[in-house]
Amino acid sequence: MKTILAAYSGVKKGSGSSILSALHDLPSVPWLTRSKIVKHLQVISVLQFVITFLAMGIGCSLLLMYMFCTDCWVIAAIYTAWLIYDWNTPKQGGRRSTWVRNWTVWKYFRDYFPIRLIKTHNLLPSRNYIFGYHPHGIFCFGAFCNFGTEATGFSKIFPGIKPSLATLAGNFRLPLLRDYLMSGGICPVNRNSIDYLLSSNGTGNAVVIVIGGAAESLDCTPGMNSVTLKNRKGFVKLALKQGADLVPVYSFGENEVYKQLIFDDDSWWRTIQKRLQKILGFAPCLFHGCGLFFPESWGLVPYCKPITTVVGEPITVPKIEEPSQDVIDMYHAMYIRSLKSLFDNYKTRFGLNESDTLQIQ
């Protein structure tokens, strides 16, 4: 009891000790050790992101409709009016919040896996860029942590560059979720939004596109080094039209954090997944991680596997208003070679074998 009072007194007097450091002085209470509390905070930070992605949009939509049937209908009506007025903001640069991007919760999120950001070359603030992010994984943890927050210090590693992670446009039609995403500098992955960032927002912009998209997530599983890229050329055409340099990005470990049941291409389960993907815009993957309270059980909490995101060398792209298919194919081939080189140069540093190869689908 005296130990507890002493720890409390130290915090009360403003000695500069945090609650965590005070609890660290309580060895007689095993579940209050600093390391365990930090680990719990890390799990909670990751789980809130997963639940937000899965349920926040539909949950807030249902809540808004319910509020119209209650005495709070005025609040719902005011927000709906604001939603209509603010409808095009996501396509016009959004509403980035430095405060939200620097929340402490993202540092716990980063340290759970942990996630790291590696720079291989400097990026010029006088240029605009399109980052091609690979692979998709299940939830794009690496992409979100590195480019949707400041947890890994993107602004310090790449001074003068402002990242904008592009995600499904449908997310920006859902109440509150749209505002939450915009606060992290996240934008819709559509032509209007990306054109605005690369042509009407000055220089030093980096639009991060997960090239493989939902289709690639269906093939994400531990040990799989495969990206959906062979027929994805729209981002190259966009880079040529805007004169934005292409930058390959590969996250080692992104596929390791969840286990997924992968069906054969000719199975009816895969057919159902692809049809739902076209309807919903995202792929209904059958995956699992570990349990919240029992690591040996199945659950939504991802496995603690390190994710290392390596940003490759930029490919200088000229501005061509109407690029021919031959020019698009040429830069697409250059991008594939650069991505393969990036993978081969760093694979052995992050747990892969020299014999492992990157498959382009």
Helical segments of 218-256, H only: 234-242
The confidence score (pLDDT) of residue 5 equals: 40
Q: At what angle do helices 325-346 and 234-242 cross, to 10 degrees?
A: 110
Nearest to 198 by CA among 157, 160, 243: 243
Residues 6 or more apart whose Cβ sits within 8 Å of residue 345: none
Average pLDDT of the chain is 90
Distance CA 302, CA 295 (A): 10
Binned at pLDDT 50, 70 and 90, residue 274 comes out as: confident
pLDDT exceeds cutoff 60 at 245:
yes
Cα 265 → chain centroid: 27
Q: What is the CA radius of gyration of the chain?
A: 22
Helical segments of 18-140, H only: 19-23, 34-51, 57-67, 73-85, 98-101, 105-112
Nearest to 93 by CA among 230, 2, 207: 207
Q: Kind of pairing, strands 162-167 and 187-188? A: parallel
pLDDT exceeds cutoff 80 at 346:
yes
Which range (24-33, 50-59, 202-211, 278-287) has the least confidence? 24-33
Note the pLDDT tens digit of each residue in 119-132. 999 999 999 999 99
Amino acid at 100: V
pLDDT exceeds cutoff 80 at 240:
yes
Domain ranges of the chain: 36-349
pTM: 0.88
Angle at 354 between CA 348 and CA 357, to 5 degrees: 100
State mean pLDDT over 25-41: 74
DSSP 3-state of 200:
coil
What number of residues does the chain have? Answer: 361
Nearest to 83 by CA among 57, 111, 49: 57
Distance CA 290, CA 298 (A): 4
Residues 6 or more apart whose Cβ sits within 8 Å of residue 176: 56, 60
Note the pLDDT tens digit of each residue in 278-315. 777 777 888 999 988 777 789 999 999 999 999 999 99
